[in-house]
Amino acid sequence: MTKPRDDHAQIKLARRAFWTGAAFYGLIAFEFFYMATPFAAWFYAVYGPGLDLLEGVGPANWTIRFFLPHVSEATSSPLIAVLEPLGAALFFGGLAAFAIGAVQIYRAKIKRLPAVTGGLYRHVRHPQYLALIVSGIGMTLLWPRFLVLIGTVVVIFVYVALARAEERLCLATYPGYAAYMERSGMFLPRGWLPASPLRPAGAAGFALAFAAALAGALGLAFLLRHHAVASLVVRSEPEALYLAVAPIDAAAHAEVAALVRTSPEARALFPEEGALIAYVLPQTMYVAEIPMDLPAGRQFGHSVPRDADPARWKVILARPELPAGAPLTGLAMLREAVNKTALLELHLDLSADAVTATLPPPAAPFYADHQVPLF
């Protein structure tokens, strides 16, 4: 049996690892919060260079890509459509459960009570860690970069190591803790799982379990990404992949592409080899991640305007930035692109069958040229 002093040292080491991992994960996840604030551009100016650095490293640039849609609100997949609201429920539900657990813990500390074994702790020994795990999974669905997913898996395993070290200390400190462990589970109520994969024996077993969990999570994320991209509402033409940011019917989608081809300014930009990305969205929808004109009094957002005119659309033509040897057309091009450069904005009136305005890209895009979600 390990001595209490050794357990204290292990807890200190585990907590140090936790805060290191949490700081890294928090820095990544914080991107989600400031992207939704008026200070997003300023924060991105500080944070973006790190993403740009990863973008320029071929073997690592996949880590900054998104495996679920963020820009596009249009998808043909019921699964993809439900993941974002599910992520919000997990994120906020986990934070609420963590707060309840914190009240129980600090109440016991203030009153100098023994180990907390009631309330949230009745059937689960570490409900606060569980709550943070649930909240972290929710964050990963809300801001689905591969980098966030990697950070989430790292932090989860640090929680496991910290929980195991704390339990050894509790066994040496509280006489009834062994009986409590017999009737409760570490992160889930006892009996919910036949055998927990999160209790490997020894450091080698723990490292193997971590590697297996990370590989499994990344494998699932790559499958989700493939499915998400295949479920986007697109129209593939020789000159461009017309990606619908908002829902659009097939006839209107085809008319949009036909109208773009009538524009001399657009035709001058069509590449001799490969294709452009053409973002299609209502004229009154403004998405910061797609460089576009923002009229005075308007705000960026991701919601499709309820009063959007079904006949009035805009198209943002952008050149994809692709690794050497990447496919130059279709969905494969979108999967491989690591960034984009806006070239032209066109306003279309389908009822008049006309291009009503042609605008250059903004001189100072909201996120400059930093890597932001492509779809």
DSSP string, 141-197: HHS-BHHHHHHHHHHHHHHHHHHHHHHHHHHHH-TTHHHHHHHSBSSS-TTSSSS-T
Tens of pLDDT, residue by residue over 189-236, are 877 766 655 556 677 787 888 899 999 999 999 999 999 999 999 999
Which long-range contacts does 113-116 make (Cβ < 8 Å, 24+ apart)?
114/174, 114/176, 115/170, 115/173, 115/174, 115/176, 115/177, 115/180
| Stronger pLDDT, 50 or 75, i.e. the higher one | 75
Alpha-carbon distance of 196 to 202, in angstroms, equals 15
Low-confidence winner among 183-187, 294-298, 343-347 (lowest mean pLDDT): 183-187
Per-residue pLDDT band for 56 (boundaries 50, 70, 90) equals: low
pLDDT at 203: 74
Alpha-carbon distance of 261 to 250, in angstroms, equals 17
Instruction: State residue 46 phi and psi, 5-degree precision.
Output: -85, -40
Mean pLDDT over each residue of the chain, to the nearest integer? 81
| Stronger pLDDT, 319 or 21, i.e. the higher one | 319
pLDDT at 88: 87
Q: What percent of the chain shows pLDDT beyond 90?
A: 33
* pLDDT > 90? residue 62: no
- Tell me what the mean pLDDT of segment 145-163 comes to: 84
pLDDT at 76: 93
Residue 2: CB atoms within 10 A of its CB come to 13
pLDDT at 65: 86
Alpha-carbon distance of 125 to 177, in angstroms, equals 10
Per-residue pLDDT band for 284 (boundaries 50, 70, 90) equals: very high
Q: What is the β-pairing status of strands 339-349 and 354-359?
A: antiparallel
Domain definitions of the chain by residue range: 4-230, 234-359
pLDDT at 1: 47
Select, from the ranges 19-23, 35-39, 89-93, 121-125, the one with the highest average predicted confidence (pLDDT). Answer: 89-93
Across-strand partners of 242?
Answer: 235, 278
- Tell me what the mean pLDDT of segment 269-285 comes to: 93
pLDDT at 253: 96
Residue 228: CB atoms within 10 A of its CB come to 24
Straight-line distance from the first to the last Cα atom of the chain, in angstroms, rounded to the nearest whole number: 54
pLDDT at 222: 94
pLDDT at 39: 46
pLDDT at 318: 94
pLDDT at 224: 95
Alpha-carbon distance of 157 to 210, in angstroms, equals 7
* pLDDT > 60? residue 151: yes
Please name which of 189, 178, 157, 162 lies closest in space to residue 115, comparing C-alpha atoms.
178
pLDDT at 42: 47
pLDDT at 114: 62
Alpha-carbon distance of 56 to 66, in angstroms, equals 16
* pLDDT > 80? residue 10: no
* pLDDT > 90? residue 263: yes
- Tell me what the mean pLDDT of segment 43-56 comes to: 63
pLDDT at 270: 94
* pLDDT > 50? residue 71: yes
Q: Which two tokens stand for residue 58?
A: 């071929």
Please name which of 348, 344, 338 lies closest in space to residue 369, comparing C-alpha atoms.
338
* pLDDT > 50? residue 29: yes
| Stronger pLDDT, 17 or 180, i.e. the higher one | 180
